[in-house]
Structure 1
Amino acid sequence: MNLARQPSAGRGGTTRNELKRAARRLFAERGIAAVGMREIVEAAGQRNAAAVHYYFGSKDDLLRELVVEGADLVDAIRRRMLDEAEAAGDVRLRDVVRALVVANAELGGETGESETYFRFMTSMQTERRPMFDEWAGGEHSEGYGRCVAHFHRLLADVPPALVKQRVLFAGLSLRTLLAGREAARDEGAGLDHPYWGEPVATEGMIDAVEAILTGPATRA
């Protein structure tokens, strides 16, 4: 996988990470188009005005790296959880939904992905949808594809077109919830918050996604 330029050892790697953290936050809070390269440099506390160009190339190269790194982190957790569920046998719908949700809710990362990734992705979907679809799919979403296959198998009594629609709605709802949780935590919501604390938030999101997938159909 070729993710623009790779970080060099020592200070170069630190600077690169600082730029990614600053850029993702600015994109998450203000949108893609509203943020310039110089603003990213200043937010990262760097003096070289060409730092983003030096480490990443173009703005699109930077965006791609931010999208792909987060997608790979999420999918690695999802694949591991699915592997464990499948190895145990008798995979239940709740197991698959949990893998779908937890992989996002427990996103780690070294450059602040857990702080801003889903608001950033919302900006990408809104402003750069073709790029989002290209960069976040394929090899970066193997685990998601496995979840969808399980949903179709486990919801075999639901028309396939309706399952597809519900999976889409569930995914959109989950990303909105995750973005809302990020914003709430930025505003000071702690682990004991009645809605956004843990494990309340994660279990609530699992319940919400499962409800979307299994709710009664109101049309033929």
Structure 2
Amino acid sequence: MARTSGPETRDKLIRAAEELFAAQGVDGAQLRDITRLAGQANPSAVQYHFGSRAGLLDAVMAGRLDRTERVLVALAHPADAGVRELLTALVTAEAGELGTDRGRRCLRISAQLSHESGVRSRTPHPTLAGTAYWTLIERLADRLADDGLPEPLLLERLDLALTVVGAALADRARQYLDGTEPLTDEPLFLADLVETTTALLRAAPPRTTPLNPPAPPSPRP
């Protein structure tokens, strides 16, 4: 068997992880199976190259983010862009991953990590700090604040909207990988995803926000 260099082995492990994390789940995939799929005889190959499962997952997501960043940077969304325009840029960049099996697997993985971005605390995950993606998230939050939404509510809405986008794209990716015929063509699907999430974010604030449901009346003695 021909020996491979460190970078080549690292790339093989990343690609194997993409396949198994997508199919079996980020927590369900076994490192030994990833190592075997990558053609590595050393059972400690993941630890050697990435330090841990978390390090391998970060490497998978770093590659996925790099591809999304290149699309985002190339898109024009002016300083006065509104919620719909910003969401269009975000969905367009994310949807670029639908074009390849590798990207489709990564969409299925990132949907499992949607609540780890740091949106709810406005503190980005280290892999997102300083990225065009995070700048876009902050601009969306600012637009919602301009609409008068209080900070806790707008952050919850934004986190929910991003979860919806991630879940919808991951399901579309699953259909492509499985060979299932989608109900709609891709342009219509993406346009509707933008409109749906725009409506979610721009919905009127609730008239009342009870912290607890009313207590049932006490039974008569």
TM-score class, shorter-chain normalisation, is 0.7 to 0.9
Which residue does the alignment assign to 1:166? 157
Which residue does the alignment assign to 1:137? 128
Matched ranges for 1:32-181 at <5 A: 32-81=26-75, 84-86=76-78, 90-107=80-97, 113-124=102-113, 134-139=125-130, 141-153=131-143, 156-161=146-151, 162-181=153-172
Please tell me whether Structure 1 or Structure 2 has the larger radius of gyration of its CA atoms: 2
Query: Which of structures 1 and 2 has the larger relative contact order (alpha carbons within 8 angstroms, sep 6+)?
Result: 1
1:208 aligns with 2:196: yes
Residue number among 182, 205, 214 corresponding to 1:217 in the alignment: 205
With over 3 angstroms needed to count, the CA separation of the structure-2 counterparts of 1:37 and 1:157, relative to structure 1, is: closer
Letter in 1 for 2:91: V
RMSD value, Cα: 3.1
TM-score (normalised: structure 1): 0.73
TM-score (normalised: structure 2): 0.73
- Following superposition, the deviation at residue 188 of structure 1 comes to 0.6
With over 3 angstroms needed to count, the CA separation of the structure-2 counterparts of 1:125 and 1:207, relative to structure 1, is: closer
CA distance in 1, matches of 2:89, 2:189: 15
Contact 1:151 1:163 in 2 (8 A): yes
Runs of 5+ in structure 1 lacking a partner? 1-9
Letter in 1 for 2:146: A
CA distance in 2, matches of 1:216, 1:142: 28
CA distance in 2, matches of 1:120, 1:25: 9
Range moving further from structure 2, 168-177 or 58-67 = 58-67
How many residue pairs match? The answer is 199
- Following superposition, the deviation at residue 177 of structure 1 comes to 0.9
Runs of at least 4 residues off by over 6 Å: none
